[in-house]
Amino acid sequence: MPEIRELAARVQLVVFDVDGVFTDGRLYYGADGETLKCFHVRDGHGIKSLLQQGVQVAVISGRSSKAVTRRMQELGIRHVFQGDDDKRPLLEQLQKKLGVAPEQTACVGDDLADLPLMQAVGLAIAVADAQPKVRAQAQWCTRAAGGQGAVREICDLILAARNTRG
């Protein structure tokens, strides 16, 4: 765990997938065909705490959803990319724009589309119920499943690491 704390202490940017990370990965459809998603309220507190400590937060999701747009606005996440399966160029553009190096970036994923991002950062994190290949590539895995407090667990790790560094 000391190695993970050291990596987490360097983090200036955290990039999250949405479906399977902020949510449990299930898609709900309303009567009018709208997609409904369920977010964990404690995850939101963790995100706000990261932002208050000056850590940049971004979301890169292959799916587009009005629910995601609304939730990320509520949380104050300004860097939201949706509807693009080619996630790595988005990450690289964001890192350049923010002046954040790959080793100062953490990425959180749950499925194979997240692997290119996870391979391009200093701290690769998988949620507990991530696809096995994703868990195998991660440097750290949460105890909580996606949508069940995993985001908060990650936020708490980074905040604790930042607060304990010399």
- Looking at the structure of the chain, the number of domains it has is 1
Q: What is the pLDDT of residue 165?
A: 47
pLDDT > 70? residue 68: yes
The CATH number covering residue 64 comes to 3.40.50.1000
User: 50 CB contacts (<8 Å, ≥6 apart)?
Assistant: 14, 57, 155, 158, 159
Strand partners, 79: 58
Model pLDDT for residues 110-157, shown as the tens digit of each residue: 999 999 999 999 999 999 999 999 999 999 999 999 999 999 999 999
pLDDT > 60? residue 84: yes
- pLDDT-based confidence at residue 164 (cuts at 50, 70, 90): low
What is the average per-residue pLDDT within 85-102?
96
pTM of the model: 0.94
Render 51-93 in DSSP notation, one character per residue.
HHTT-EEEEEESS--HHHHHHHHHHT--EEEES-S-HHHHHHH
Model pLDDT for residues 1-46, shown as the tens digit of each residue: 679 999 999 999 999 999 999 999 998 888 988 888 999 999 999 9
d(CA 157, CA 159): 6
> What is the domain range of residue 158?
2-164
Neighbours of 116 (CB within 10 A): 15
